[in-house]
Structure 1
Amino acid sequence: MTVEAIENGWFEPLPLQKYQDLVIKSIPENLSGCPPDKTVGNPAVQVACGPNLRFLGCLENGQTNYRGTILLVIRDAPETERVEPSIEYYIGPATTSTGSLQLSKGEFPGTLFHQEQGLSFWRFSMELHLQEYEQKVKYSVNGEYNENFQFYLPSVEQSMNVMSYSCNGFSLSVKTADFKSSLWYDVMRRHNELPYHVMVGGGDQIYCDSVKKSSKPFEKWLEHKKLHSYDKLTDEIVDSLKEYYLTNYIQWFGKGYWEGTAGATLQCIYPLALQQIPQINIFDDHDIIDGFGSYSHRTMTQDIFKGVGNIAFQYYLLFQHHTSPTEDCKSEPSWILGASVGPYIKQLSRSLYTRLGKEVALVGLDCRTERTKKQVVTKETYARVFERLKQEITASNGDIKHLLVLLGVPICYPRMVWIESILGSAALGPIKWLARKGIIAKGLVNEFDGGVELLDDLNDHWCAVHHKKERNWLMGELTKFAGTHGVRITILSGDVHLGCLSRMMTKMHKHHIFSSRIDENRKEILAHPEHDPRLIFNVISSAIVNTPPPNGMATLLEKRSKIHHFDSNCDEDVVDLFVRDTNGSARANHLFLNKRNYADLIPFKNLKNTERYNKFRPGDLIHPGPSEALEKAESVGDGSFSTKKIGYPLDPNSLVTTFHFEVDMRDTNSRTYDYEVLIPQLEGTYDLKDVGLK
């Protein structure tokens, strides 16, 4: 493609009609298997997966830098015909506001960092610089440009537009024929309106539970083994597992194809999103296998089960982090490495820190590598994470106003300890034995340790009986950190296949023993939540692909939701966000909405369409709720208090957090309905005392 052609098409919108046509062609009844590889470029290469973008960091060490990588996985040709791939790019302004269009050309250097099973893994390093204006990059593979090979950089004064998602796949037995809509199409529709600079994967970017059926040696072992088998991890099983994870990633990340026991799916827009929006990922159990880390120690230490975890981790690094396990992990500054190798995955945990533009930063906590049934992360690793955060926030000299904390599993969520007690009771022993033998409902128990299938999900939760103490400690440390450094913390989570917005905030109960202090809180915190150092939202958004739970589960969660007293000064609850359904009608359950969804977090000053705010003035408190019907919060001047009436200020430094919920899973237009909250910055610093004490 000529320079003139690049310039002429520089500001063209995305081909949304073409994307929708792809969605229609990809509905389950039209599928005939996994699409083939694509041949790209001249000289041509056969691309099995990619190009996929990964974001690493920007504004590092006082610079205006921007770092990332591009992954390209190609099929090996015969030795005499092999061609090395190359990626060239043009970079220029993202909008016409800069005046004349001036483009610069460059090449991203490539490294062949891994080879196996007839595939070569190439990583291309993106080293760019932020400018006074937002930039657009168009890149080519061996000289071939297309409308999908592009991405955006914020200006040096901007914070990034962030898209957040999780549960990006179906559980093994889901009837995929019921789903014709694609939320990834809606992602690209919104990306066309206001570009996402980065997308954050909160875990389960791929579903690998089908290893139980696709790896025949592993399936055979599961069928014949006793509950706790000490069979050795043979070369046959290793090879089978490697073939499975490699193929599963190639099909899902490369084509958007996956097949379960009740049907297949082709999420064809997902690979196109990977080509256009740089990703940041942590992993969760389904990136490995359902429940990994949350079974008993005796189960987790079986050689074959540990083998599953270690092999899955290898491909997680290859495809989601563009890194080989044999490479020096200490050379990448975005990693926060664990203090010691995990108990089952014999690798250092890899949490990550990155700056998302001028005023927003993100830390993603690796909550799977060190996980056991009684531990999520070791104290030594937590110490490393908080030390890194202290260094980075301090070095920003007050520029960082929002810190996003990425946790795969919600940390502020209704307690289910009573269900844990029932499902873990010895009284269920005979029933579980009958289920294992197939005499009664076989699906009641899992294949790994014979426990009730639901129990591993409950054990994964922060509020599970074994994790509650660690959970309270972590929330206390985050609260103190926010107050000390004057940064607003927001937690991003998924996992639970529905949407809700939970929060922690300064306590304001009428019957509190310190009544005078509470009166003061009502006047100050309710009118000025930007002064509440204990205000932490947990944005819980999932699944972008997987099926939502039934209405009964959402109702149960609502009935279990109440104000929890975290300590003598802090409460936690769930926000009344869903007062309307996705069709605009009134809802009975205001707290939990069980439809597929994803979220985004946009700095208010980045918004282009602000018409819904025209009826408000700067500083007005706006109640969280449907985007089309935002309401001003009621006055608190009389000292009255209700958590249902709390609002958050219309302010340029607010982070506009929006949930996008699917309207109809059978609609190929993939329409969504929005709910939002304005998350305020934290003004001032606070030396909080007695955090965690009742």
Structure 2
Amino acid sequence: MSESKNNGWFEPIPLDQYQKLVEKAIPQNIQTVPDDEVVGQPAIHVACGPNIRFLGCLEGSSNNYRASILLVTRKKSERTTEGKIPEIIYKIGRSSEPEIQDKETDCVVTGNFPGKLIYQEEDYLFYRYAVNLKLKSYEQKVEYAINSEFRSDYMFYLPAIEQSMNIMSYSCNGFSLGADISTFKGSLWLDVLKKHNKLHYHVMIGGGDQIYCDSIKFSSPEFRRWLKHIKKHSLWKMSSSVRASLDHYYLNHYVEWFGKGYMEISLGKTCQILFPKVMHQIPQVNMFDDHDIIDGFGSYSKFTMSQSMFKGVGSSAFKYYMLFQHHTFPKEDVSIEKSWILGTTPGPYIQKESRSVYARLGKEIAMIALDCRTERTKKQICTESTYNHVFSRLEREISSSKGEIKHLLVQLGVPICYPRMVWAEVIMESPILYPLKWIARKGWIFKGLVNEFDGSVELLDDLNDHWCARHHKAERNRFVSRLMKFGAEHGIRLTILSGDVHLCCFSRLYTCGKKVKQDHIPKTAAEDPRLIINVISSAIVNTPPPNGMATMLQKRSKLHTFDLSTKEDVIPLFKHKVQKPARGNELFFNSRNFSDLILVKNLTHDQQKYFKNFKQGDLIKAGPISELEVVTPPSDKCDCESTPETHNAYPLLPDSLLTSLHVEIDRENTSSETQQFQLLIPALNGKHKLEHVGDKHW
């Protein structure tokens, strides 16, 4: 069914309303959980949602678009709806007014998203709606209504069939238990919506810690007693009462955070009121990390992780992670969703198959989100069979795209190119500290020195999480080598997205070394088959580390040798503070942030103004987008180690990914403004056969 567009179809996002919501939601004003929203006729009480999950597009040879919408209501709604499934209808049409009127495109088409009740627990009913649409030659806008009620935030955008998606990426969406949140009055979710208003984000990638569940340890008196046991822990069995308390916690914590943006921690309460509104209008692809379960899950000792109490935490967290973040109910047939790449065997502690995710993000971009938590142990991140399944799927997908895919994004929770901290691991695990840890465990002095899970030094689980930790370094090198060879052989540019560390930077691997032949030295990054950028962006909500930590990381950052043809380092990006004068740390910025990745050809006229004085192919130095600099490439081939300026500059091309870090200027300002730091990631020219990747001696 078609109808003419109404006058409000092209209305912008109501940013003034969102600004007022942020002003009302400063920490000092938060008293309790906001009420459910009452929506539609007949009216229903919405506890959480509608939240959109992106599943895939351009699958096979079709122009399809798949997503799902999750809606969680209260059972008391049944008194007014007589047990009927809430109805979601939609309108779809061109997202912007065409220059030339066309009868075929100057209208909206209406329809409905079929839904079904997939799960119910306590006072909640879970409904899932299937979104199956077709991409057109133009970008489309979808407005939807619940029981006939349309709202300004009930909408999302589809890319044109020849377009790649505009991508927003974030991590660490919540506060740690001990964070002092009193000064965090701004909300970067407001800035996300400001950017979305100018250039529509088609997908939002959650890189882990979409929710902070560390307060699970307060969920039941019995679980708390287990944590406080004088020994490392006893072998108490998971009782039905504890299991019920864990389920109750995760269920209601998700409803409060995903539904209202509300959470309570030790030092206060927060209400990220715009987070749910973003989920109403930007489809998401999520992968989980430790805080989606409990701090450090998977990286503690085998003795601790193997206990039934800890396994119970993992099992319960996984259930609600699948419900709220993957819209999948317990015991549902795992083969129904083709975007998943399933592990072959259950994880050792969560005891479910891992679920990595593959998705095509429009014509030229694809992504793989690697499940780095389900199979994790202190000495393993993923099994070899999982890596094989992932690369087998990538082989099929990239080959079937027939050269259309030029960029592959690899989502990993934790940075893979990051300063080494092995020295700190050795100190924290040294027998010399045993007496001090024993005293701290008793609670006599130094109470914050050790964690309450296995009595190790508090920071050790964070260090053990890292790919560069001594237990994971060999696995990390094998994985990076495999990625590098795969990208070179298929002529695609690999970019890694990471979070977790509560600051932002760009790190990388690139061609440079004594074994690089003169005729193999790439003149620009577009010709470099070894170039892999690691975009590290976190946290969008959590408090950043102190300046001393960022300074220590800069001092620990060195030019590493990955192999005899490949170097690894961090790009000097931050010339200035977000507010000048010049700052001392050019490598790491410890302020809240998020990132986006947008092809140059997708930029709006307003965004293109930054590049108006440059021509196609110019090498633009990475840095503040307001201070772009051109670097002149060497006229002849030369030793790659003698041209550091060229290494820090990347070509301005239509298929370059403008990758930006949006860094918060002032946490106490509710206008929530950011400064943009950019790097242009080029597609890879040609296919390459690399040898001796990962070899340091040959």
The alignment's TM-score, normalised by the length of structure 1, stands at 0.97
2:141 is paired with a residue whose SS is strand
Q: In structure 2, what is the Cα distance between the partners aligned to 1:589 and 1:79?
A: 57
Partner Cα distance (1:578, 1:79) in 2: 55
CA distances 1:251-272 after superposition (whole Å, capped 9, x unpaired): 0000000000011100000000
1:643 is matched with which residue?
Answer: 644
**Corresponding position of 1:43:** 42
Query: 1:3 Cα shift?
Result: 6.7
Query: Which of 625, 628, 637 is the aligned partner of 1:627?
Result: 625
> Does residue 435 in structure 1 map to residue 431 in structure 2?
no
Aligned-residue offset at 1:677: 0.4
- d(CA) in 2 for partners of 1:75, 1:369: 31
Distance (whole Å) between structure 2 residues aligned to residue 615 and residue 546 of structure 1: 38
Per-residue Cα deviation, 1:539-570 (whole angstroms, up to 9, x for no partner): 00000000000111111111111111001111
Looking at structure 1, the residues matched to 78 and 469 of structure 2 have their Cα atoms a distance apart, in angstroms, of: 55
Matched, 1:308 2:319: no
User: Pick from 409, 421, 434: which aligns with 1:416?
Assistant: 421
- Asked if 1:554 is matched to 2:550, the reply is yes
Amino acid at match of 2:91: Y
CA contact (8 A) 1:76 1:82 kept: no
Equivalents in 2 of 1:576, 1:386: separation in Å? 32
Specify the alignment match of 1:667 in structure 2.
Answer: 669
Question: Could you tell me whether the CA contact under 8 Å between 1:575 and 1:644 is conserved in 2?
Answer: no
Which residue pairs with 1:92 in the alignment? 93
Runs of 5+ consecutive residues of structure 1 not aligned to the other structure: none
Partners of 1:417 and 1:464 within 8 A in 2: yes
Stretch of structure 1 that moved more, 192-201 or 218-227: 218-227
Structure 1 Cα separation of the partners of residues 165 and 684 of structure 2? 19
The offset of 1:218, in angstroms, is 1.6
SS of the equivalent of 1:96 reads coil
Residue by residue over 1:660-685, the C-alpha shift from the partner in whole angstroms, topping out at 9 and shown as x without a partner, is: 00000000000100100000000111
Give 1:339 shift: 1.1
Matched, 1:404 2:409: yes
CA distance in 2, matches of 1:380, 1:264: 43
1:347 to 339, 348, 352: 352
Instruction: Name the CA distance, whole Å, in 1 between partners of 2:547 and 2:101.
Output: 53
Where does residue 591 of structure 2 map in the other structure? Answer: 595
Structure 1 match to 2:616? 618
| Aligned pairs for 1:60-99 within 5 A | 60-77=59-76, 81-97=82-98, 99=101
Taking the aligned partners of 1:584 and 1:159, their CA distance within structure 2 comes to 35
* Cα distance between partner residues in 2 of 1:581 and 1:622: 20
Secondary structure of the structure 2 residue equivalent to 1:419: helix
Q: Deviations over 1:379-434 (max 9, x none)?
A: 00100000000000000000000000000000000000000000111110011111
1:8 counterpart SS class: coil
Note if contact 1:507-1:518 (Cα within 8 Å) is conserved in structure 2.
no
Query: Residues 283-332 of structure 1, C-alpha deviation per residue, up to 9 Å, x if partnerless?
Result: 00000000000001111011011000000000000000000131011111
Structure 1 residue matching 2:626: 3-state secondary structure:
helix
The equivalent of 2:678 in structure 1 is 676
Q: Determine the C-alpha separation between the residues in 1 that align with 2:454 and 2:317.
A: 20
Residue 531 of structure 1, aligned match among 514, 527, 530: 527
Which of the numbers 134, 157, 160 marks the counterpart of 1:152? Answer: 157
Q: Could you report, residue by residue, the CA deviation over 1:114-157 in whole angstroms, capped at 9, with x for unpaired residues?
A: 11012110000000000000000000001000100000000000
Matches within 5 A, 1:319-334: 319-334=324-339
Deviation at 1:586, TM superposition (A): 1.4
1:397 counterpart SS class: coil
Helix, strand or coil at the partner of 1:272? helix
Match runs of 1:398-547 below 5 Å: 398-508=403-513, 512=514, 514=515, 517-521=516-520, 524-525=521-522, 527-547=523-543
Sequence identity, in percent?
Answer: 56
Give the structure 1 partner of residue 17 of structure 2. Answer: 18
For residue 229 of structure 1, report the CA deviation from its aligned partner.
Answer: 1.6
Cα shift readout 1:622-670 (whole Å, capped 9, x = no counterpart): 1100010010014423647243442111100100000000000000000
Cα offset, 1:691, TM superposition: 0.8
**In structure 1, how many angstroms separate the alpha carbons of the residues matched to 2:409 and 2:78?**
47
> Cα distance, 1:222 vs. partner?
1.2
- Contact kept? 1:44, 1:83, Cα under 8 Å: no
Deviation of 1:79 after TM superposition, in Å, equals 5.9
CA contact (8 A) 1:209 1:288 kept: yes
Q: Is the 8 A contact 2:37 2:46 kept in 1?
A: yes
SS of 1:160's partner is: coil
**Matched letter for residue 586 of structure 2:** H
Q: How many residues align?
A: 683
Distance in 1, Cα, partners of 2:581 & 2:413 = 31
Aligned partner of 1:563 in structure 2 is 559
Do residues 579 (structure 1) and 575 (structure 2) align? yes
Instruction: Give the Cα–Cα distance (whole angstroms) in 1 for the partners of residues 380 and 556 of structure 2.
Output: 25
Match of 1:605 among 601, 606, 617: 601
